Amino acid sequence: MVPRSNVLSRLTDRLVVWVDARHIDHYVGKHVVLTGRTDDVLRHTPLRLRRWAPLRQLLRTLRPKDPPFVIPDHRYRRPVRLDDLEKYLMVKDLVERDGAYQQSRWFASLHADVERDGRARHKDVEMRSVAEVHAFFEAYVLPLIDSMRRSGYDLKRGAQLGQALIGADGRLHKANNGDHRFFVARIVGTESFPLRIAGAHEAWVRQVGLDARLADADRLAAAIRDVERDHR
């Protein structure tokens, strides 16, 4: 299988698509499943245990460091409707409160984490007090929502882009990285949002006439442009 890094090195920015965020309806998260057994264990593991550092380290060793770009059907995660995804619904609840973040489910969740565990986390941001939770919303989350509403996505040099996978039918599924930024964009109706294609279902690759080795980079780039047009 062709490693994702191989495709990235050949296509670089040609893997970036600009889409209407409202035209992506499903979420797959990480690129590929680990194993059926491992996924089953994770599905039934309480959230607090999933945050336990030794378990997180174990999961990092289990996940392939360089996943394949062409993903076999049995390794492609089952897409979940965004409107059924809990973390999307938390962001939607916040955005719809129009600044009253203290009443949101997301604030309540972080507040509860601090009260129970002495800390809460969002990516690399660690909050060790309720005051820091307030600062997280006031200095980061609310300005992000306001900026997305007023001027759309601002692509800064060196910014880490969110990712998407191309499903078996050619529809884009939101993958990991940049989830909350994408969620906000979808909720406020951002019509031009960048995502980097991180992989594709094997059925789509066959459908567009590409071989599993993806030897023809120009043909792959052209097929990705067609997908981009379908999501504008």
Interior/surface letters 167-186, b for 16+ CB within 10 angstroms, e for the rest? bbebbbbbbebbbbbbbbbb
In the predicted structure, residue 174 carries a pLDDT above the cut 80: yes
pLDDT digits (tens, 9 = 90+) for 80-103: 999 999 999 999 999 999 999 999
Residue numbers of the domain that contains 150: 4-32+67-230
Residues 134 and 41 reside in one and the same domain: no
Same domain, 19 and 44: no
Query: Band of the pLDDT at 194, cuts 50, 70, 90?
Result: very high
Examine the domain organization and report whether 80 and 177 are in the same domain.
Answer: yes
Supply the pLDDT for residue 155: 79
Distances (CA, A) of 1 to 10, 28, 171, 209: 16, 20, 22, 17
Final residue belonging to a domain, choices 43, 60, 77: 60
Neighbours of 113 (CB within 10 A): 18
The answer on 120 and 204 residing in a single domain is yes
152 lies in the same domain as 220: yes
**Hey, what's the torsion of the CAs at 171, 29, 217, 71, to 10 degrees?**
-90
- For 6, 38, 229, the CA distances from 3, given in Å and listed in that order, are 5, 22, 26
208 and 97 both lie in a single domain? yes
pLDDT category of residue 223 using cuts at 50, 70 and 90: very high
Predicted confidence band of residue 176 (pLDDT cuts 50, 70, 90)? confident
Give me the pLDDT at residue 17, please.
98
- Do 128 and 13 lie in one domain? The reply is yes
Question: What is the pLDDT, as a whole number, of residue 35?
Answer: 44
Count how many domains the chain has.
2
